[in-house]
Amino acid sequence: MYGPGALLADRYRLDERVGGGGMGEVWRATDQVLERTVAVKVMRPELLEEPGFAERFLVEARTMATIRHRGVVGVHDYRSDASDAFLVMEYVDGEALSRRLHRLGRLDPALTMELVAQAADALQAAHDRGVVHRDIKPGNLLVTSDDQLVLTDFGIARSAASTPLTATGAVIGTPSYLAPEQVLGQPATARSDLYSLGVVAYECLAGRRPFDGENPFDIAMKRLREPPPTLAAGASPAVLAVVERALAADPEQRWPSAAELAAAARRALVPGSSSPPARPGSPDPPARPDSPAFAAARAAVPEPPQPVAPTRQERPAPVRPAPAYPTTTTRPPAPAYPVPPAPPERPPVVLVANLLLRVAALSLIIYCVASLSVMDIVTVETERALGTSGDDLLGLLLALAWGVVLGLFLIALLLLLLSWRNDRRSRTARAWTFTIGFFVLCCCAPAGVLGSAGTGVVDADRSGYEQRLAAAMPPWYEPVTSGSGLIMAVALLAALVLLMLPAANRFFRLPPRPAFYYPYNPYPPHQHPRP
C-alpha cells in the first residue's frame, strides 16, 4: 500500500495513517500547494480492477460534494487513474464516537442528546439532497474535543439521482445498526437512517447496543422479533421517548424527519421539558423553520412551550387517559411488513443428533486412549524391526503416530463442543459439525477400523514384524478399538443425517451447508465492512 512520506499527484504528502477498512485507508496528509492539513482516503489498488468498486468510490466523492453542511465532512479533490484512486477531504481533528465509547463506556444523557441532534442535523442536510447514508454507526461519527460532531463515510450511501450499484434486495450496511426494513431486503429510506441513529443513541446511554448475538443473523432476527430492552434509569422520560421512537420497528412510527428528531433531542436537554410529539395517529408537529435562531429561541421559551394546537390535557379526558409521553412499557404497534415467526422449540431430532454426537466423541476418546496405551509395544517392535541404523526413521514414525492420535483426540473434543453449541441453535456450529463429520467419516473412520482390526490377526502370509506386533498386542485391544471406532462412525453418521432433516432446518433457519460458507453475509460479493 502506501507509507508515510508518499506523495500523491505531486501534491498530497501522506503523514500518518488514521484509519482503514475493507476498501482503503484514511491518512492525515499535507496539501503542499495550499499548505493545509487534509484527510486522504486511498482506495486499495487490488480493488481498482474489481467491477463496481471504482464507480462506488467516485459516487462517494460526488455524493459528499453535493452536501454542504458543517456537520458533514467536506470534499476538496478526487483523483483516479489506472493505478490510484483517492479522495481528498476536510481533516477533522477528533476521534470516532466508537473510540470514545470504548474509552468511556457510556455518555451522559445531555451529551448524548446534543450529539444526536448534531447528527440528525447533518442527516437532514443529506436527506434534503436525496441522499440516504445507510451506514450510520459510531465509527462514522467523528467528535472533536469541543464535542462537535461530523458525519463521514458515504461509501454505501444511496442518492436518488445516482445509478444503483447493488443488486435489488441486497442487504447493505453494518448488521448491528440496520433498520428492520433493511434486514428484510427492502430499500433504505431516510427513516432507516433515523433508526440507525437511534441505535447509536441507545449505545451511548447504555454502553451497549440494544441487540447483540453470536452472528449477524441472530442480531437481525432479534431486531425483527423483539422490542429493544428498556434503558436503565438515569435518563429523563423525554430522553427515553426520543430514543424509543427512533427505534420503532415500523418506519411510519419513527420520527417523520431528521429535523424533527434533532428538535426533540434539543427539547429533551431542557430540564422539565415536555415530552416529544405524540406518535403517528396524532397531528405531526410543525416542521422546524430553516432559521438557526429558531431552535435557540424555542429552547429559551419557558416550559411548557405554547403548542400550535390544543394539547391532550385541553381535550375532554377519555375513560382511560394516556400518559403525556410513552412509558418504558409502551411499544410501537406491530410493523406493517411481515415479520418472521419465532423459531420453534428444540425438536427431538436435534436433541437426538446432539446426543449421538456426544456418543461419537466419547467413542473416539476411548479409541485414542486405547491406542496410546499400546504405544510402548509398537515402539519396541518397530525398533527391533529397524535395528540400530533406523533411529531417525523410528523417531519420525513415532512422531507421526502421536500426531494422528492427538489429532483424533482434538476432533473428539471439538465434537463435544459443537454438540453443546448446536443445542443453542448456533448455525455456525452446525456448519462445522458437517465439515468435521464428513472428514472423519470419509478419511479417519475407515482407516482406523481396518487398521485396528488387522493388528490383532496373526497371519502366516504377513511379514515377521507384523506377526510379532500382532502377537504382542493385548487381547482386549482389537475388540475395544474396532468396537469404539465402529460405534463412533455409526453414531456420527446418524447425527449428521438427523441434522439434515426438515425439522432441524426449521430450528436452525438454514439448510445444511459446510462451514466454509458463512451462514449470513450482509455484504455483496467482494465488499467488506469498514470500521
User: Residue 50 is part of a domain; what is its CATH number?
Assistant: 3.30.200.20
Considering the domain architecture, whether residues 16 and 143 belong to the same structural domain is answered as: no
Residue type, 505: N
Higher-confidence residue of 484 and 305: namely: 484
Most confident range, picked from 41-55, 64-78, 239-253, 489-503 = 239-253
Report yes or no on 19 lying in a domain: yes
Report yes or no on 248 lying in a domain: yes
Which residues lie closer than 8 Å to 81 by C-beta, 6 or more apart? none
Helix (H) or strand (E) holding 13: strand 12-20
Strand 85-90, strand 94-96: pairing: unpaired
Helix (H) or strand (E) holding 373: helix 348-373
Place of cell 461530523: 150
37 beta partners: 30
Under a CB-based contact definition with an 8 Å cutoff, are residues 70 and 118 in contact? no
Report yes or no on 517 lying in a domain: no
Higher-confidence residue of 339 and 230: namely: 230
What single-letter DSSP state applies at residue 442? I
Other CB atoms closer than 10 Å to residue 508's CB: what's the count?
21
Beta-carbon-side half-sphere exposure of residue 107 (alpha carbons within 13 Å): 23
Q: Residue 214: pLDDT band by 50, 70, 90 thresholds?
A: confident
Considering the domain architecture, whether residues 74 and 141 belong to the same structural domain is answered as: no
Cell of 153: 463515510
Cell of 372: 496410546
Considering the domain architecture, whether residues 85 and 98 belong to the same structural domain is answered as: no
Considering the domain architecture, whether residues 136 and 182 belong to the same structural domain is answered as: yes
Query: Is 135 considered catalytic here?
Result: yes
Considering the domain architecture, whether residues 125 and 252 belong to the same structural domain is answered as: yes
Q: What angle do CA 35, 37, 38 make, to 5 degrees?
A: 120
Q: How confident is the model over 368-421, as pLDDT tens digits?
A: 888 888 887 877 777 777 766 666 666 777 788 788 888 888 998 989 988 888
Place of cell 483424533: 408
Q: How far is the CA of 111 from the CAs of 108, 115, 144, 276, in angstroms? A: 6, 6, 13, 18
Helix (H) or strand (E) holding 400: helix 391-422
Cell of 359: 456418543
pLDDT at 274 over 90: no
Single pTM value for the model:
0.53
405: helix, coil or strand? helix
pLDDT at 17 over 80: yes
Q: How far is the CA of 19 from the CAs of 51, 96, 211, in angstroms? A: 24, 10, 26
Calpha distance 412→512 (Å, rounded): 21
Calpha distance 142→129 (Å, rounded): 21
Place of cell 444503483: 164
233: helix, coil or strand? strand
Of the candidates 494, 404, 491, the one whose C-alpha atom is nearest the C-alpha of residue 444 is 404
pLDDT at 452 over 60: no
Report yes or no on 32 lying in a domain: yes
Which residues lie closer than 8 Å to 324 by C-beta, 6 or more apart? 274, 275, 312, 313
What single-letter DSSP state applies at residue 443? I
Report yes or no on 291 lying in a domain: no
Considering the domain architecture, whether residues 115 and 219 belong to the same structural domain is answered as: yes
| Mean pLDDT, range 504-520, rounded to an integer | 55
Q: Residue 503: pLDDT band by 50, 70, 90 thresholds?
A: confident
Under a CB-based contact definition with an 8 Å cutoff, are residues 251 and 192 in contact? yes
260-291 in b/e burial notation, b at 16+ Cβ within 10 A?
bbbbbbbbbbbeebbbbbbbbeeeebeebeee
Mean pLDDT of the chain: 75
Q: How confident is the model over 292-309, as pLDDT tens digits?
A: 433 443 344 344 444 444
Q: Angle of helix 445-455 relative to helix 477-499, nearest 10 degrees? A: 160
Calpha distance 297→101 (Å, rounded): 32
Considering the domain architecture, whether residues 176 and 257 belong to the same structural domain is answered as: yes
Report yes or no on 337 lying in a domain: no
Considering the domain architecture, whether residues 394 and 467 belong to the same structural domain is answered as: yes
pLDDT at 427 over 80: no
Report yes or no on 447 lying in a domain: yes
Considering the domain architecture, whether residues 494 and 464 belong to the same structural domain is answered as: yes
Considering the domain architecture, whether residues 85 and 51 belong to the same structural domain is answered as: yes
Report yes or no on 318 lying in a domain: no
Considering the domain architecture, whether residues 133 and 79 belong to the same structural domain is answered as: no
Which of 90, 108, 131 finishes a domain? 90
Calpha distance 198→216 (Å, rounded): 19
Place of cell 462451514: 515
Which of 269, 302, 325 finishes a domain? 269
Calpha distance 215→413 (Å, rounded): 23
- The reported pLDDT for the residue numbered 244 is 93
Which of 90, 111, 146 finishes a domain? 90
Poorest-confidence range of 131-145, 266-280, 385-399?
266-280
Considering the domain architecture, whether residues 68 and 189 belong to the same structural domain is answered as: no
- The reported pLDDT for the residue numbered 431 is 83
55: containing domain: 6-90
Name the domain count of the chain. 3
Q: Which of 10, 93, 128, 135 is catalytic?
A: 135
pLDDT at 165 over 60: no
Of the candidates 75, 78, 115, the one whose C-alpha atom is nearest the C-alpha of residue 95 is 115
28 beta partners: 16, 39
- The reported pLDDT for the residue numbered 509 is 61
Please report, for the domain that includes residue 255, its CATH number.
1.10.510.10
Under a CB-based contact definition with an 8 Å cutoff, are residues 50 and 70 in contact? no
